[in-house]
Structure 1
């Protein structure tokens, strides 16, 4: 395995390049999948107070509301033309993630997807969704609920309407991170669907996190171990590095200063600047500056050897414990526990070690 020249940081990471299956860890990828998923598309959250949550995402994050109807808010980033990337709907018993969404390229991909999921014995049904074309609702092997659609209604982008900009000026939805009991097994499933790995974290022969993509930058879906399936976070890009800090200022301005959970910092995998916040219902959202491209076929996955799930290799403190273990359940989906719970280096453990030194 070739070293890249980045030295090992004690207790954190050693960066190496690994070809798929070179260390018998990464599942195979189908480069000609049975149907064509193009990108991560949208998130549907159930919240206690739609108006309160909408104000958080508009005033702090800078999203724009495309439509508010029947008590549901449809939001999107400033660079997004499609109707919505975030939907806020009234909660049932408690706040939850109702579903996440991916786009497919052509409508015929939806029929191919239905056949694929049915052949796997996984749920697949047609559903009517406002401002989306024909939509297929499926479940992956973890139970996570997923919408597949090929089209939405289109609206003018707002990135040049600077007089309307607010908050962190979020540009577009980029990726989500899902906690699951078996990240390796689910990685194999998404590999069948053409998802490639840009980077992954491993401890010995154990896959700790897998960062997978379809759209030609390094991430659409991150899979990490834990009680699941649960939505750990979803992430929006911002146009300038300064907007990472601006979102913190706007959070403070609108009374959400204590919702800043992790960062600002710089990730090890991907190297992006980031900050994580919890919305009024505890759903976690990340704002970050953009990724590198991964569209070329010869690019190899990057392996990060790690003893923990911390990705603050460059600078910054480890995340607090709740960042690793708290997440949004999928509404009505049973949870499964992993055989072994992760034991990451949390801020609490780090501080305890400093106190003893």
Structure 2
């Protein structure tokens, strides 16, 4: 069972927007994201690199921040709101519920609000950014996998239902969901009219499992893997290419030089109409593949980037997914 959704929330979050990560070597991380994934540098200095996809007009969707001692952690995941006044409403909404809310000044963004959800996931809300020309038809500038735009995040939470209820109050709807019996284990939630902006999976959290970029052509998923290998990141091709059950898209997951996980995939179906019901998946019969392909390695299910300064909480019951290691162990010996 899913929690009820508030279709007229107090303020209007429109989409997943940008993610901030800490890295140990800015040049190495930039090499991975520019030359393997194909992102474009909007601006950079000696400690920060701002990147965007080829189809993105807003200044950045990925911010890499140098932190030699604390690399491999996530700082914040960002969402856009529609109007600047939505930020003022959001500030009061979070404060009334005893949740952190603080105004910050950041380069290349309009007014920005830092808030946290009930488990401590650090969120960044803004209504505007500086813009740059889209480069999606500048084919002569293409590199790597030609990543087009940031699409979604997946986070871990110790109780999927409780966090799903929180985001449902903010107007997030479910396209699909994962249950074992009547226990909600995974919620695939959206705001922008495709099937995903935020996935919540029950596990030790909060932590960022992955963030995902779209590609225009399915072959670009293989190109990401090829360029990762060419550039010396081949061991970081962690899962795929494959096809998901939930969502149905083709995908590959790669780990960057600091262990952050990024997905490249071809795009989603539309979910704009209110009469469309979410699709239920049975966790007992699902390895998140669609009809073919081996399960993921165990580390894909359990490893994630912790958030800076946020304590993690384990779930009441540790998940036991069908990992590749378990699958091979349980296969009968001919």
Shorter-chain TM-score bucket reads over 0.9
- Residue 203 (structure 2) pairs with residue 230 (structure 1): no
Summarize the Cα distance change of 1:185–1:309 in structure 2 as closer, same or farther, 3 Å threshold: farther
TM-score normalised to the size of structure 2?
Answer: 0.98
Cα distance in structure 2, aligned partners of 1:315 and 1:60: 27
Quick check: 2:22–2:70 contact (8 Å CA) kept in 1?
A: no
Query: Aligned residue for 2:235?
Result: 258
Provide the aligned C-alpha RMSD in A. 1.0
Shift of 1:310: 2.0
Quick check: 1:99–1:146 contact (8 Å CA) kept in 2?
A: yes
Cα distance in structure 2, aligned partners of 1:141 and 1:356: 47
Does the residue aligned with 1:177 lie in a helix, a strand or coil? strand
Shift of 1:94: 3.5
Query: Aligned residue for 2:22?
Result: 46
Query: Aligned residue for 1:107?
Result: 84
Cα distance in structure 2, aligned partners of 1:133 and 1:309: 42
Query: Aligned residue for 1:164?
Result: 141
Residues 129-186 of structure 1, C-alpha deviations (whole Å, 9 max, x = no match): 1100000000000101000000000100011111110000000000000001011100
Which of the residues 94, 97, 120 maps onto 2:97? 120
Quick check: 1:308–1:345 contact (8 Å CA) kept in 2?
A: no
Does the residue aligned with 2:76 lie in a helix, a strand or coil? strand
Query: Aligned residue for 1:74?
Result: 50
Query: Aligned residue for 1:130?
Result: 107
Gaps of 5+ in 1: 1-24
- Residue 314 (structure 2) pairs with residue 340 (structure 1): no
Does the residue aligned with 2:331 lie in a helix, a strand or coil? helix
Query: Aligned residue for 2:248?
Result: 271
Query: Aligned residue for 1:290?
Result: 267
Quick check: 1:267–1:314 contact (8 Å CA) kept in 2?
A: no
Summarize the Cα distance change of 1:320–1:308 in structure 2 as closer, same or farther, 3 Å threshold: farther
Residues 104-140 of structure 1, C-alpha deviations (whole Å, 9 max, x = no match): 0000000000010001100000001110000000000
Residues 11-58 of structure 1, C-alpha deviations (whole Å, 9 max, x = no match): xxxxxxxxxxxxxx1000000001000000000000101110011000
Which of the residues 28, 45, 53 maps onto 2:4? 28
Query: Aligned residue for 1:240?
Result: 217
Gaps of 5+ in 2: none
Paired residues, number: 333
Cα distance in structure 1, aligned partners of 2:52 and 2:204: 29
